[in-house]
Amino acid sequence: MSPFLDLSRLHKTFPTPKGPLTVVKDFNLPVRKGEFIALIGHSGCGKSTVLSMIAGLSDVTEGGIILAGKEVVAAGPDRGVVFQAPCLLPWLTAFENVMLGVDRVYYTATRLERRQIAEYYLSVVGLAEAMHKRPAELSQGMRQRCGIARAFALSPKMLLLDEPFGMLDNLTKMELQDVLLDLWQRDQKTALIVTHDVDEAIYLADRVVMMTDGPEATVGDILEVKFPRPRNRRQLLEDPAYYEAREYLIHFLNERSHHRPAPVVHATPPPAAKPPGGGLKRFMHAFAAL
């Protein structure tokens, strides 16, 4: 079975005044349906760039993205995006912000049904009371909740989240992580989250993808997180395997992220296919990076 989302030999080059800058080079990642992927890496390495290519908001320079058997060429409501800043339209209420997408996706449903869909997702994220307020009247956490409700209400095939909880306090962050996991499990989505937070990555993801530093960033290593679901924070914190995983990720970020990987993939991604780039080519890249 071919992967649900397949990033193959993905390149991204930006034109800059100093000539073209290759930010992402030869990025390969097959993702199973229903899988939760966390993408970590140093600031500026190109995580958002990869995410916005999958979202279709940024063109792919070279390589390809296949989602559910179709090549990604433009943005669309089959991918719900939760932006780093919540990006709500300030002139609409929380409810209207969610309705904007719902109206679009469920155009065959009646007005009442559409309202119910929006209200359902807003109450799941805990905004039942505040849904008729404008973003300016909401706290940062509430805005982010609204952004999540908007993405989920589209009933997308895939969820893309770019550091969605980066600006929140710890308590709100943990609560929203649980909201996210809850929705993800309920609707059996495929999800990809970009994060700086190693603990968040382990708590949420089935696989943590580590990116090497840019420019020419790529997949440095992949860690499989095998804790059973639903996960329990307390139990996780008592498990020595949790600290091993944490240590592994931190070690990567501190020591290994500066080098492009040797042509071996650490964990075995679901279809154990050879990356299309070919071993020799990857080796040459690794060689060139030294």
Ligand X SMILES: Nc1ncnc2c1ncn2[C@@H]1O[C@H](COP(=O)(O)OP(=O)(O)OP(=O)(O)O)[C@@H](O)[C@H]1O
Half-sphere exposure of 186 (CA within 13 A, CB side): 11
- Identify the bridge partners of residue 29 per DSSP, sorted by sequence position: 7
Q: Which does 218 bind (CB under 5 to 8 A by kind): Mg ion, another protein, ligand X, none?
A: none
Give how many residues touch another protein by CB under 8 A: 22
How many Å from the N-terminal Cα to the C-terminal Cα in the chain? Answer: 36
Closer to Mg ion at the Cβ: 219 or 245?
219
Alpha helices in the chain (DSSP H): 47-55, 94-105, 111-124, 140-153, 170-187, 198-204, 233-238, 240-251, 279-289
Is position 48 an interface residue for Mg ion (rule: CB under 5 A)? yes
Q: Which of helix, strand or coil describes residue 243?
A: helix
Q: Which one of the spans 47-55, 131-139, 145-153, 261-269 is the region binding ligand X (CB under 6 A)?
A: 47-55
3-state secondary structure of 213: coil
Question: Shortest Cβ distance from residue 36 to Mg ion (Å)?
Answer: 19
Residue among 14 and 287 whose Cβ is closer to ligand X: 14
Under rule CB under 8 A, which residues in 25-84 are in contact with another protein? 55-57, 74-77, 79-81, 83
Pick one of ligand X, Mg ion, another protein, none as the site partner of residue 20 (Cβ within 5 to 8 A by kind): none
Q: Is 8 in the site for Mg ion (CB under 5 A)?
A: no
Cα separations in angstroms, 256 against 212, 220, 277:
8, 8, 22
Are the C-beta atoms of 157 and 2 separated by less than 8 Å? Answer: no
Site string for ligand X, 157-196 (x = CB under 6 A): ----------------------------------------
Q: Which residues sit at the interface with ligand X, rule CB under 6 A?
A: 14, 16, 21, 23, 41, 43-49, 214
Q: Which residues sit at the interface with Mg ion, rule CB under 5 A?
A: 48
